């Protein structure tokens, strides 16, 4: 299926180009008069921004999804979210399997690149489990959310909202239709509704731990000792960030942003504020009203993100853990980078450092440009740019104020955040022959 198209392209170039074409197609569909409730053609930059945000499962929007788009426009956005969450390679290979076409080495390599997996074997089996698992979790979430929405919205509207928000949550997209009550309100009306909040949080977490972890959990159930090192790191770091982050948010915002809430409301809001930055984009409180401490901590969680090979963005939890292990080994002067009775390869450290620094550089450059172009508040600009490159979708209210130049910067950040900034840069050197010559060594002062 892909052989003719990908003959002269590397796997990463294929993925980057595919996402670009999907974004462009979505832009053209959203520009149609039937996509906007005004019945007019949507400006190119607004349609491009929305299409990029949906395909890159970010959630930043320049216009409220409910008030701006018709049912057709909303379904286009939902389709882009599903394609962006699973990856168009996964969907393409699934179609090939349904048509009983042979999945060759090229296609298996693309799946591996898309899921960010080391080994090549078991790709077809993994793809099937991803599709089945996605359908199961999204369907379960849709049923639960529909049951919560139907009493207030009616049968058909409640079911539609349940499906839309389940897919958006599982794919870590952050798009919502709650603008029917108040524009840009997200899930603020449900901040103390335990069923809605817990369901959305579980969908975000399940989508964010990654398909590799799913596969490991499916094969070994609750036998932690049999999990791969990757799964152990992802699960322990995810739980630590969720509950540790919730405690920090409760301390920072408990008597400020959460003031006046019930104990249940404060607990759910603290947990949600800890879960959604990694990297869903929904919010149950006004992000713009957060204290600077809350905003900066949100930026940290957004930058970390979820797990590799998932619907989440960010530099990924494994990157953070690898760097922590390196710092620990350096301080204690130990040999090797060890965790859970295993030693990490030097390549893992090199890649982690490169990903961390590349994303940090891009985000900080964008912050400087946004502040220079439009004189935004530094903390709010920081939140906006890290939200974009980490494909989160949280904002302090700057998105609707962006001019054309600022929109293009955020669009680029969202795109690079989804395809992988480091992988995208390296895709241009895949076929270059580099002569590996060792230069003379010389010491410099560090620190």
Residue 441 belongs to a domain: no
Domain annotation covers residue 433: no
Whether residue 46 is contained in a domain is answered as yes
Distance CA 425, CA 412 (A): 13
Full residue range of the structural domain in which residue 56 is found: 11-424
pLDDT value at residue 430: 56
What is the C-alpha to C-alpha distance for residues 239 and 270, in angstroms, rounded to an integer?
14
Of 123-127, 159-163, 167-171, 409-413, give the lowest mean pLDDT range: 123-127
Residue 80 lies in a domain: yes
**The pLDDT of residue 422 is above 90:** no
Q: What is the per-residue pLDDT across 280-319, written as a single tens digit (0 to 9) for each?
A: 889 999 998 999 999 999 999 999 999 888 888 899 999 9
Whether 166 is covered by a domain: the verdict is: yes
As beta bridge partners, residue 69 has 36
Please state the rounded mean pLDDT for residues 18-43. Answer: 94
The arithmetic mean of pLDDT across residues 341-366, rounded, is 91
436 found inside a domain: no
Counting the structural domains of the chain, the total is 1
Phi, psi of 394 (to 5 degrees): -85, 145
The DSSP H or E segment spanning 338 is strand 337-339
Rounded to an integer, the average pLDDT of 342-369 is: 91
* Residue 446 forms part of a structural domain: no
Lowest mean pLDDT among 256-260, 329-333, 441-445: 441-445
Task: Assign 3-state DSSP to the chain and report helix, strand, coil percentages, each to 5.
Answer: 65, 0, 30
Q: Is residue 77 part of a domain?
A: yes
Has residue 2 got a pLDDT over 50?
Answer: no
Which has the closest alpha carbon to 171: 86, 266, 236?
Answer: 86
**What pLDDT does 376 receive?**
93
Q: For 380-391, give the secondary structure using H, E and C.
A: HHHHHHHHHHCC
CA separation, residue 76 to residues 81, 174, 260, 412 (Å): 9, 15, 39, 21
Q: What is the mean pLDDT of the chain?
A: 87
């Amino acid at each position: 299926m892909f052989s003719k198209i990908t003959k002269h392209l590397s796997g990463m170039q294929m993925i980057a180009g595919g996402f670009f074409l999907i974004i462009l197609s979505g832009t053209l569909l959203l520009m149609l008069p039937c996509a906007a409730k005004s019945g007019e053609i949507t400006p190119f930059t607004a349609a491009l921004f929305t299409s990029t945000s949906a395909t890159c499962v970010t959630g930043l929007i320049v216009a409220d999804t409910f008030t701006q788009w018709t049912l057709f426009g909303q379904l286009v956005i939902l389709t882009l979210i599903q394609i962006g969450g699973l990856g168009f390679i996964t969907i393409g290979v699934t179609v090939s399997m349904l048509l009983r076409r042979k999945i060759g080495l090229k296609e298996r390599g693309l799946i591996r690149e898309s899921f960010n997996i080391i080994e090549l074997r078991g790709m077809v089996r993994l793809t099937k489990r991803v599709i089945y698992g996605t359908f199961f979790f999204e369907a379960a979430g849709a049923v639960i959310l529909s049951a919560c929405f139907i009493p207030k919205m009616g049968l058909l509207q409640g079911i539609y909202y349940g499906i839309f928000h389940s897919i958006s949550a599982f794919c870590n997209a952050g798009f919502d239709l709650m603008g029917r009550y108040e524009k840009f309100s997200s899930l603020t009306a449900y901040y103390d509704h335990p069923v809605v909040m817990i369901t959305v949080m579980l969908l975000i977490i399940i989508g964010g731990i990654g398909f590799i972890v799913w596969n490991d959990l499916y094969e070994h159930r609750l036998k932690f000792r049999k999990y791969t090192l990757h799964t152990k790191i992802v699960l322990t770091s995810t739980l630590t960030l969720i509950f540790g982050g919730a405690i920090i948010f409760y301390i920072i915002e408990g008597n400020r942003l959460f003031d006046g809430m019930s104990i249940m409301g404060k607990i759910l809001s603290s947990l949600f504020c800890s879960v959604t930055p990694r990297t869903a984009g929904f919010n149950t409180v006004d992000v713009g009203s957060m204290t600077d401490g809350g905003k900066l901590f949100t930026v940290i969680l957004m930058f970390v993100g979820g797990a590799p090979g998932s619907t989440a963005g960010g530099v990924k939890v494994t990157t953070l853990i690898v760097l922590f292990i390196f710092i620990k080994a350096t301080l204690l002067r130990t040999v090797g980078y060890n965790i859970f009775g295993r030693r990490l390869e030097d390549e893992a450290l090199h890649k982690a450092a490169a990903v961390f620094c590349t994303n940090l550089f891009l985000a900080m450059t964008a912050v400087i440009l946004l502040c220079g172009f439009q004189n935004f508040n530094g903390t709010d600009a920081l939140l906006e740019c890290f939200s974009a490159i980490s494909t989160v979708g949280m904002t302090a209210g700057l998105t609707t104020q962006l001019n054309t130049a600022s929109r293009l910067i955020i669009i680029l950040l969202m795109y690079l955040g989804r395809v992988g900034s480091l992988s995208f840069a390296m895709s241009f050197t895949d076929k270059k022959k580099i002569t590996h010559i060792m230069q003379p060594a010389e010491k410099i002062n560090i620190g």
